[in-house]
Structures are given as C-alpha cells and as structure tokens.
Amino acid sequence: MSTDFDQLVYDLAPRKFSWKGNLWVAILVVIILVGSYSYVQQVRQGLVITDMRDYALWGVYISNFVFFVAISLVGSLITAILRLSGIKWSTPLTRIAEIIAVAAIIMAGVTIIIDMGRPDRMLNLFMHGRLQSPIIWDVIVITTYLVISVLLLYYPLLPDFSILKRHAPESARVRKWYSGLSLNWVGNSEQRRIYSRSIKALSILIIPVAFAIHTVTAWLFETTYRPGWDSTNFGPYFIAGAFVAGAGAVVAVMYVLRKTYRLENYITDFHFNKMGKTLVLLCLIYLYFNINEYLIPTYKSTEEEAVHLQSLFTGQYATLFWTAIIGGLVLPVIILLFPQGRKPLPLFLVSIAVVVGAWWKRYIIVVPTLSHPFLPIQGVPESWRHYSPTWMEWSITFATLAAALLIITLLVRFLPIIPIHETSEERGLVDAAQTK
Amino acid sequence: MLGSVLAYAQDKKYRARVSLQYTKIMDKESYIGISAKYKGKDGFDQASDLEFSIYKVDQNDSLIYLGKVKTNENGKAKFLLAADELENEEATVFNYIAKIENNERFEDGETSVSFSVANLTAKIEMIDSVNQISAVLTDASGIPLQEVPLRVGLKRLYGSLQIGENRYETDENGSILIPLVDPMPGVDGNLNFEVVLNENDTYGTIKAMVNAPIGVPVVEESTFDERTMWSPPTKTPLYLLIFPNLIILGVWLPILILTFNLYRISKSKTQ
C-alpha cells in the first residue's frame, strides 16, 4: 500500500468536528432557530410582520434570493469552465465550489418560498403557472440548476466514496453510507469511461443553465418597467456580478477550510494568487457593467431615473451604494493588483468585503427602485413610502444565510473538501487497495 | 323650477332641500325628477329613502293625489307621469307638488314645479352628400319656438358626447340643422344622437333621440380567445410553448441520461 497515498487520504478524508466546529454548528443552529421563530410568526400573521407594503413589495428576502443565485454561479465557474479549459490548478477548489453552489441554490429556492405570503399555495405555481411569466422560467431554471449542481457534486465523489469506504477514519455506519454512495465504484475502464463522459457532459450542460438562471433572475427585474431596472444590460450585468460574488465566496471558504483542516499543502499560496487574479478580472468586468448601468441613465437623466439615481449617488442609499461599489469592487481590485494583496490573509479579507458588498449590491438593486415608481405614491400612509426591514425579516434572512453555511459545514464534515481521487491521480499516487 | 321646503319646527328632524325637474323624453316617457339633500353634521348629504307624495294642481287649485315615490341612495327619485296626463288638457301650464308628509327623519314640506308642454322632433337626413341632424321645437299647439337653445350630443356609455357647438338656437321655424362631418365609431355602425332642450324655465328638459346606422362600425379588439402573453396557461402563445419546452427537453433529457449513467456505473462493477 502506498504510504504517500495513505497520507493523502489521511490529510483529505473528512474529520469529526473539534469543539470549535461544534460551537460553530451550535451558533448556526441558534441563528436558524431564531429565524424559524420569526418565520412561524410570518406564516401565522402574514407578511405584515415585514416592512414590505404596496410599493416596496420586494425587500430583503428578494435581495437575499438574488445573492444566493449569484453565489451559486460559482459552481459553474470553478468546476465547469476551468475544467473544460484544461486548467489543473483548480482541482483543490472544485469540491468547495460545488458544495457552495449546492448550498446556495437550495437556499435560493427556500428564500423564494419565504418571500411568499402564502407558501401553502406554492403548488399553484406548478398547477396554474403560465409559461409567459418569467417567474415560471425562474422556477424551472432553479430546479434544473439544482439537479445539475447536485449531479456535478456527486459524480466526482464516486471514486472518493470508494476510497473513503475503505480508508476513512469513520464509524462502520458512516463507512456503510460511503459504500452505498460509491455505487460499486472500482475504477474499471467501463466505469471510468461513463464517469469521464458524464462529468464532461455535466460541465458543458451546467454552463448555459448557470447563465440562464442568472439571466432569468435579471429578467424578473428587467421585465418590470421601473426606474433602475429598465435595461437590456441586466442579464450580463447580473452574471458578471454573480461571478464576482461566487469567486469571493470560494476564496473565503477555501481560506477558512485551509486554516481549519491544515490544508496548506493542498490549497497553497499559488491557488490564492490565481484566485486573486481571477477575482481582479471578474471585478473589472463587473465594474465595466456597473459603469454602463449607471452612466447612461445618469447622462439621460429622465425625471424618474434622476430621482432614483440621486437617491443612490447622494441620497438615502448613498452610503450603501458607495460602500458596495468602492469597498466591494474598486478597493479589492486595487489591493489585488499587488502580489502581497493576493496572499491568503489579505485575499481572505478582500473576499469577505467582496461578498458583503455583493449582498448589499443586490439590496441596492432591489429596494431603491421600488421606492421610486413611475407613478407617484399617493394616498398611502407615510410609512409605506420607505422600506426598512423589520428585525423579523433580518432574523429570517440571517437564518437563511446561516442555513447555507450549515449545509456547507455538514457537507464538509462528511465529504472530502479536496477531491482525493483526482489529487492522487495528478500526483501520480495509486490506491494500493484498488490495484489489487 | 326650484323650490325649497317650508320649515316647521320639529325636534331632531332635518330640513330637506328639494328640487324638482320636469323631463320629457320624446316618444318614451315624461317624469318629474326629484333631488333631495339635507344639511347633516358634516355638511350636505343626500336624502336617501325619503318618501314624497306627488300631487297635481288642477285649474281650481285643488290637489289631485297621484302617488308616492322614494329617493334612492343618491337622494334622487323619478315620478313617471302617465302618458295621457299631459294630453287633452285645456291648460297650457301644468303644476305639480311633491310633499314630505309625516316622515320620521325629515320635517314636513313641499316643493312645486310648473311647466308648459313642448315637443321636439329630430331626424337624420342626407343633404349635399353630408349627413345632417335636424330638429324642430314646437309648443303644444305646434307653433315653432324661436331662439331657444338646443344641445346636440352623441349618446355614449357614460354620458353624452357633445356634437358641434355647445348650443344651437332654433330659427324662425323652430329648427336647427347640424352637419355630421366627422366619422364617429358606433357598435355595428349605429349611432344614437340626442337633441336636448336643457332645464328650460318654461318647458323643462326635453330630449329627442334619433338612431342612425351612419357610424364607423366598431371592430372588437378583444384578445380573449387568442394566445397572448397575458392569456391563462391554456392559451399560451405557441412559440412560448414550443421553444421553452424544447429547451427544457434538451436539458432534462441529458439530465435523465446522466442520472441513468449512475445506475450504469453501479452495474459495471465486474466489467
């Protein structure tokens, strides 16, 4: 049996949580429980517990939904695009990206249900849905993307499950699970042939679906005639933003996992350097779209657009807007242009700024527009003119974010963070047990 | 034409402000329109469900009871006059009184209206290849009424659309002649014109209706039975049924194959 291979399995096999891991899970569960309490109140009392009213009818929930959809795009970026491009350095990051994508798309679906005043009527979407409506397109494409993401996570795990069922330092019951999930993988030529073809097909398939999920989400806004959303640029603008958010999320998670599981030999400074450069490119592309999205409406300054833009540039939302643009895009680009900025810790801090900025950017896209409709707001209570999420909305929103992190945490607990099989192949290591 | 109710002191009762208007729609009906309101706590309100007794004043100034009528929720009522009520009368002026009697909410009172009978006829005729609406106003004995303002309108769903000038005065023959130059839309091309003598001090309101198929037929533009972007699911546009479903099929078929491939992998253990 190869010693190097055993060391590799030892390094990369999932491990039980330390007390820190358990504390982390406990904190997430508490946040989820608080959010669940608020959600029960929302189901019992209705959306009146939120600050959403006739005008701001999409609030923090939809902002959060768009954020999750954005984050989920990373699965296609790291896994599919880099895989199809023949880039090998991304191997240690693929599993992380796939896990993030699955967690994010699950929570995107959950968030949409949370936004529904009557979730018990969700079935009506499928029974009476109209193909003319972008909402239905979104439902279809999210479901499709979820299935493909799960398949893309699962397929590369087959050889790993096979390795883990023999080598993982786990209980017999967990090994039995690994054995079942490995689908009798022995790595023979037929299995490898189907496996390789399937992963290639999935990598190709996920790209248009990933683009579609974000384009359709953009269309939800574009097809609604409102200041700030009346753009033909929204599809690529959203996709560009999603790549930024997703890449930021991957960097943040890979830093934490590297630190927690001492994976410095596998996720190296080289990977951070590459991801840092990728992030710069993505931020610059997104900045380009932002300039398009804000410069031209500012130049034209139609009455309603001018009011909307004023609220972003100098008005009520100026702090958020400039923080998201400068803190979440411009400064990261400047920092990451320097090699020192692409070291793990600075890049981690930058990625956190990028992800937080990306979340607020979605909020800025959703809420200010709804506060400035084309028709004047008249004859309604003063409180309806402004939107400020209630604590219950925040608690539910934080619960969804915590739930996404919990899904990632639990998947990390039972799945190898770095593909063992692929890494062993790249390093020329052979599973002695398999060669017998 | 307007009268106000005489007030008698009665505790907690309102004093109704009542107006009467005689209206005659040629070849159809004649009636006395009643409108009643009162000053409540927050200003004037319509006096709804208020009963009036209608009397005719004969030539000896004695009252002939005709019947009762109640106002609707808008404080309005319509008392139809029998077809022979205004015929074969020697009198040229007719007097009617509407009384509030023994009402629980309103003080007793009465309002009167006086009018003379006139007739208005209208028709559409083609003169010099142009449709024209002509109308003649005469008194009860058939003598033309000169220099009386008439209004011409086209009946629409919620009111009358003015045709031409605001008012046309009758000539020495009691007639007016209005050209209908502009094309006007109508259901099946039918247009309902009305010529109106409006709230005249002597003759009240008189309307003559004339229907003519001289309009531009309205083509119904309903898309109810068509496949549109705003139709229910059963009437989705075909292209939106075909192409998205082709795309869905094009994506889900490979997904099903890829899912089946998992089964194939599990069965390829011994190969």
Which among A130, A155, A189 has the least Cβ separation from residue B232? Answer: A130
Q: Say how many C-beta atoms besides its own lie within 10 A of residue A203's C-beta.
A: 19
Please write the tens of the pLDDT for every residue from B94-120. 999 999 998 988 999 999 999 998 999
Asked if A185 has any chain B CB less than 8 Å from its own CB, the reply is yes
Please write the tens of the pLDDT for every residue from A93-125. 999 999 999 999 999 999 999 999 889 988 888
Task: Using the predicted structure, report yes or no on whether residue B92 has a pLDDT greater than 60.
Answer: yes
Min Cα–Cα distance to chain B from A305, Å: 27
- A205 interaction partners in chain B (CB closer than 8 Å): 251, 254-255, 258
Best A144, A183, A213 member to test B by mutation, with max B CBs in 10 Å, is: A183
How high is the pLDDT of residue B7? 45
CATH code reported for the domain at A3-435: 1.20.1630.10
Beta bridge partners of B79: B32
pTM of the model: 0.76
- Please indicate whether, in this complex, the C-beta atoms of A183 and B248 are within 8 angstroms of each other: no
CB pairs A-B closer than 8 Å: 71
Q: What is the DSSP string of A64-92?
A: HHHHHHHHHTHIIIIIIIHHHTT--TTHH
Which among B244, B251, B261 has the least Cβ separation from residue A205? Answer: B251
- A208 interaction partners in chain B (CB closer than 8 Å): 251
Closest of A369, A368, A361 to residue A332, by C-alpha? A361
At residue B60 the predicted structure's pLDDT band, cuts being 50, 70 and 90, is: confident
Q: Beta strand B185-186 with B109-116: parallel, antiparallel or unpaired?
A: unpaired
Best A124, A126, A131 member to test B by mutation, with max B CBs in 10 Å, is: A131
Min Cα–Cα distance to chain B from A137, Å: 9
At residue B251 the predicted structure's pLDDT band, cuts being 50, 70 and 90, is: very high
Q: What is the DSSP string of B247-271?
A: HHHHHHHHHHHHHHHHHHHHH-TT-
Closest of B112, B99, B16 to residue B53, by C-alpha? B99
Q: List the 292-311 stretch of A: residues with Cβ below 8 A of B.
A: none
Please write the tens of the pLDDT for every residue from B152-161. 999 988 889 9
- Please indicate whether, in this complex, the C-beta atoms of B258 and A154 are within 8 angstroms of each other: no
- Please indicate whether, in this complex, the C-beta atoms of A132 and B251 are within 8 angstroms of each other: no
In B, minimum Cα distance to A148 occurs at B255
pLDDT, one tens digit for every residue, chain A (436 residues): 457 888 888 889 998 999 999 999 999 999 999 999 999 999 999 999 999 998 888 999 999 999 999 999 887 777 888 888 888 888 899 999 999 999 999 999 999 999 998 899 888 888 888 999 998 999 999 999 999 999 999 999 999 999 999 887 778 889 999 999 999 999 899 999 999 999 999 999 999 999 999 999 999 999 988 999 988 889 999 999 999 999 999 999 999 999 999 999 999 999 999 999 999 999 999 999 999 999 999 999 998 899 999 999 999 999 999 999 999 999 999 999 999 999 999 999 999 999 999 999 999 999 999 988 888 888 888 888 889 999 999 999 999 999 999 999 999 999 999 999 988 888 887 655 554 4
* ipTM of the shown complex: 0.89
Please write the tens of the pLDDT for every residue from A170-225. 788 899 999 999 999 998 999 999 999 999 999 999 999 999 999 999 999 999 88
Integer Cα distance of A411 and A391 in angstroms? 30
- A201 interaction partners in chain B (CB closer than 8 Å): 254, 258
CATH code reported for the domain at B16-116: 2.60.40.1940
**Which residues does A330 contact at the CB level (< 8 Å), separation at least 6?**
A287
CATH code reported for the domain at B118-217: 2.60.40.10
Integer Cα distance of A166 and A149 in angstroms? 27
